[in-house]
Structure 1
Amino acid sequence: MSDDDLSTLRLLRRDDVPPEVLDAALDRARVRFDAAAHAATAPRTSGAGPARTVPPVRRFRPVVIAGAAVVVAGGLVASGIGITHWSSPAPAAAATLREAARAAADDRAPVGAFTKVVETERALGYASSDGQHYDEGYLAPTTSTTWVPADVSGTWVRETWSGPATTFYGGAAARKAAADDYATEAHRDDPRWERAAGGDFTVGELGGVQPGTLTVADLPDLPREPAALVRRIEDAPRAVDTTDAEHVFDTVQQLLRTGLVPADLRATMYQALATLPGIVVTEEQASLDGRVGTAIGLPARTGGERQDVIIDRTSGAYLGERTVQTQRNGSIPAGALIDSVAVRVTPVDDRP
């Protein structure tokens, strides 16, 4: 049983879950159940390899899924797993996201021939005090400004520059590493300029986008209905050992960061996040590059990090994102920023 199935069972045992959240969780469980059923019953062909799995059929199976839930839930109880440890979308997070969705749907921001997207990032660089453990660090800012044409397949222009470290955790090792890194970076008086068709700034041999991954080119065709959007995201490629909730959260976060999500789709994305088990308000008044919003997070199942998106619930604007270290690491305390990105979007009529 997957972590997503466990989350669904947790919701069934609670009486404070909004109906739309429970419906969305059950719908996702039905899809996974259909996929598993087809995989188990698909005939094998003669030869060395297994037959291709039949694509999942999305249909409502209330009797089957209810029966499966009862059987599995009984097994969990017999195994001693307590429901007090089961998660569900916190009411405050869901309410915040729905309020932001309503505001985003009413957004009538002007448009231009280009969209100017300014990303101000502060990232944690690591250093070793003993040559063995990366137990010191420093925060250094990088600013990138991208001019995106209305037709996103056209030529994008990007300017990037870095600043000196602003925060240090530790002593001499952190300061030396920060100075060495700054010496190799483009600076404000000598920024790095790039141009790329469709925003493909990636050097091919160093990576690239996996086929099927959702990008800004997919934005016009993405569903404007929360449950359908969640299903579309779940069907896209994902990292290994990623749950549905994590995959949806990560994908929405990455698309919102581009600054190119239109208001109606942004509203749908907020509504989709509101259905995810485990989503919580991590800070009511989170400051990011001079602006204040509500931080919404999905705590990681393992490791010592937490990812947040920060939104303005009154305007529906996406302010940015951050990754917070939740466990102490040497001189780097719990609560330290690992990375934060503030996003500002402005329509413009020209580009450099």
Structure 2
Amino acid sequence: MSDDEFTTLRLLRRDLPPEAVDASLDRARLRFDTAAVATTVRTGGAAPARTAPPVRWLRRSRPVLLAGAAVVVAGGLVATGVGVTHWGSPGSAAAATLHEAAAAAAADRTPAGAFTKVVESELSMVSTTSDGEHYDEGYLEPTTTTTWVPADVSGTWVREIRSGAATKVFGGTAARQAASDDGAGKPSAPVWERGVGGDFAVGELGGEQTGTLGASDIADLPRDPHALVRRIEAAPRAAGTTDELHVFDTISGLLRTGLVPADLRAAMYEALATLPDVVVTAEQVSLDGQRGTAIGLPHWSGTEQHDVIIDPADGTYIGERSIQTRQIGSIPAGTVIDSVTVRVTPVEDQP
């Protein structure tokens, strides 16, 4: 498709926001180029080597998942990317939503405190096995993690973790017994930790793997979306992880810290809008009493869909969720196997 044809399509759709149109056109160009490579492969020409699918470790006893690669069909590109009758496609909706959220985030003037209090309310699947071989059962366990982070993130962080009773069991006797043995049958006493620079002994918020982007990098990350994408792409990643998955996962992880300032949050939303396969997976999602829009990659994993939840009206990052996309044993397709709501408050002291 030529630049003149793209210009014509842009003029035909002057009723849409320019940023939404341009984002859709950018995705269409990329999909067109990808399809050309695919066509070259089918006709026997040379094409770049495909990488192995990434491996992602998930919380606790959940098994390793292999993320599958997205398949692009050349014949459907114009219809799904920039076809005149398909302007309501999920991709263009995602770009428009992210642009709106970025504008709102950029205008955020929430004052800072000496400390940032980050409360993570998580409901996660703990996988169990009915036969000692297959992870085909499980239970959902709530955990509330409250972290007090100093303005200088190299200082001492304080964290409290509270686990609650299992809320739902998937499976039979083995799953119920596992929940009981794991102490998920009743609320546990809170666990307190202190860690310099957030380097706690256990858990997900705080502490960083060498070379990866984390809380200590936030202050120096670029506020230009394209420069931010390049910076993330240059950071270490799991073997075989695509640039798109790496950018999405990195931004998701940084947003979850609750420490991303408004200007960088706006840049992150704009960066997500550049990803060719990002879509609105749900217009309205209720997450621990808060409502927002779910943005995700439909091919994030062979068995999971991973979303970030944002409020486009005010640019707030609400949290994230993972949905199982096919039935595994007693756990049906469509089950939310992990959800996290993040609430951030500036405070002047820590316990």
TM-score w.r.t. length of structure 1: 0.76
Distance between the aligned counterparts of 2:298 and 2:27, measured in 1?
20
- Aligned 8 A contact 1:186 1:192 in 2: no
- Aligned 8 A contact 2:199 2:208 in 1: no
Aligned twin of 1:95: 96
> 1:301 offset after TM fit, Å?
5.6
Aligned twin of 1:299: 298
Q: Percent identity between the aligned chains?
A: 61
Aligned twin of 2:130: 129
- Aligned 8 A contact 2:165 2:184 in 1: no
Distance between the aligned counterparts of 2:34 and 2:165, measured in 1?
55
Distance between the aligned counterparts of 1:91 and 1:233, measured in 2?
23
Distance between the aligned counterparts of 2:350 and 2:168, measured in 1?
33
Distance between the aligned counterparts of 2:172 and 2:35, measured in 1?
56
What letter matches 2:40 in structure 1?
Answer: G
> 1:129 offset after TM fit, Å?
2.4
What letter matches 1:83 in structure 2?
Answer: A
Aligned twin of 2:178: 177
Distance between the aligned counterparts of 2:273 and 2:308, measured in 1?
12
- Aligned 8 A contact 1:21 1:275 in 2: no
**How many corresponding residue pairs?**
295
Distance between the aligned counterparts of 1:137 and 1:183, measured in 2?
12
What letter matches 2:308 in structure 1?
Answer: V
Distance between the aligned counterparts of 2:111 and 2:271, measured in 1?
25
Distance between the aligned counterparts of 2:76 and 2:170, measured in 1?
34
Equivalent residue of 2:124, what SS? strand
Whose radius of gyration is greater, 1 or 2? 1
> 1:255 offset after TM fit, Å?
0.2
> 1:118 offset after TM fit, Å?
0.2
Aligned twin of 2:322: 323
Aligned twin of 1:75: 40
Return the match for 1:19 from 16, 22, 41. Answer: 22
Calculate the aligned-residue CA RMSD, in Å.
2.9
Distance between the aligned counterparts of 1:335 and 1:283, measured in 2?
13
Aligned twin of 1:62: none
Aligned twin of 1:142: 143
What letter matches 2:117 in structure 1?
Answer: K
Equivalent residue of 1:223, what SS? coil
Distance 1:231 1:25, change over 3 A: farther
What letter matches 1:330 in structure 2?
Answer: G
> 1:185 offset after TM fit, Å?
9.2
Distance between the aligned counterparts of 2:179 and 2:336, measured in 1?
16
Unaligned runs of 5+ in 2: 1-5, 11-19, 46-71, 82-89
> 1:346 offset after TM fit, Å?
0.4
> 1:74 offset after TM fit, Å?
5.2
Distance between the aligned counterparts of 1:324 and 1:69, measured in 2?
28
Aligned twin of 1:225: 224
CA deviation digits over 1:131-151, x for unaligned, max 9?
Answer: 332211110001110000011
Aligned twin of 2:252: 253
Distance between the aligned counterparts of 2:114 and 2:226, measured in 1?
32
Matches within 5 A, 1:34-53: none
CA deviation digits over 1:197-230, x for unaligned, max 9?
Answer: 1111147xxxx74432111111111111111110
> 1:300 offset after TM fit, Å?
2.7
Equivalent residue of 2:235, what SS? coil
Aligned twin of 1:152: 153
Matches within 5 A, 1:269-280: 269-280=268-279
TM-score w.r.t. length of structure 2: 0.76
Aligned twin of 1:36: none
Distance between the aligned counterparts of 2:332 and 2:36, measured in 1?
44
Distance 1:346 1:131, change over 3 A: same
Equivalent residue of 1:182, what SS? coil
CA deviation digits over 1:36-59, x for unaligned, max 9?
Answer: xxxxxxxxxxxxxxxxxxxxxxxx
> Greater shift after overlay, 135-144 or 301-310?
301-310
- Aligned 8 A contact 2:35 2:73 in 1: no
What letter matches 1:215 in structure 2?
Answer: G
- Aligned 8 A contact 2:126 2:141 in 1: yes
CA deviation digits over 1:96-140, x for unaligned, max 9?
Answer: 111110110111112111000000111101222233322111100
